[in-house]
Amino acid sequence: MKPSVQIKLFADLSAFTPPGADTFPIKAGTTVRRLLDDINVPAEKVRLVFINNIKGDLDTILKGGERVGIFPPIGGG
């Protein structure tokens, strides 16, 4: 089976959510940065990266099977 990840984009980044985000195909060994590049999420808008609920970063390597969560900065109240 081809490796895939689940992508969850928060706040204004959700506009970039690709079709099939729950099982989005990746190449094993790719990075979060490359994944976000593939779905046109501007890297400068990314502030928080979570891999399976643990903080990662743009250079975290993905094997497939992960849940990738991405937050922009938010500060409203």
Partner 1 sequence: MENGLVNEIRAVAVPKTFRDNTPYISLSVEQAALLARKYSLGGHRIEIEALQAGIVPERYARNMRTFSRPEQVVLLQSRVSVVGLGGLGGGVTEILARIGIGSLNLMDGDTFEDSNLNRQFLSTHEGLAKPKAEAAVARIRAVNASVAVEAHTEFLDADNAAGLLAGSQVVVDCLDSLKFRFILEAACKTAGIPLVSAAIAGMAGHVTTIFPEDIGLKLIYGEKDRLPVRGAEASLGTLPPCVTILSALETSEVVKVLLKRGVLLRNRLLVVDLMDNTMEVLKLQ
47 lies in the binding site for partner 1 (CB under 8 A): yes
Q: Which stretch binds partner 1 (CB under 8 A): 31-39, 46-54, 58-66?
A: 46-54
DSSP string, 6-18: EEEE-GGGGGGPP
Q: How many residues does the chain have?
A: 77
19 lies in the binding site for partner 1 (CB under 8 A): no
Strands 48-51 and 30-31: unpaired
Residue (of 29, 31, 6) closest to 17 by Cα position: 6
70 lies in the binding site for partner 1 (CB under 8 A): no
21 lies in the binding site for partner 1 (CB under 8 A): no
Residue 38: phi and psi, rounded to 5, are -60, -30
Q: Which is nearer to partner 1, 12 or 59 (CB)?
A: 12
Catalog residues that contact partner 1 under the rule CB under 8 A.
8, 10-14, 47-48, 50, 53-55, 69, 71-77
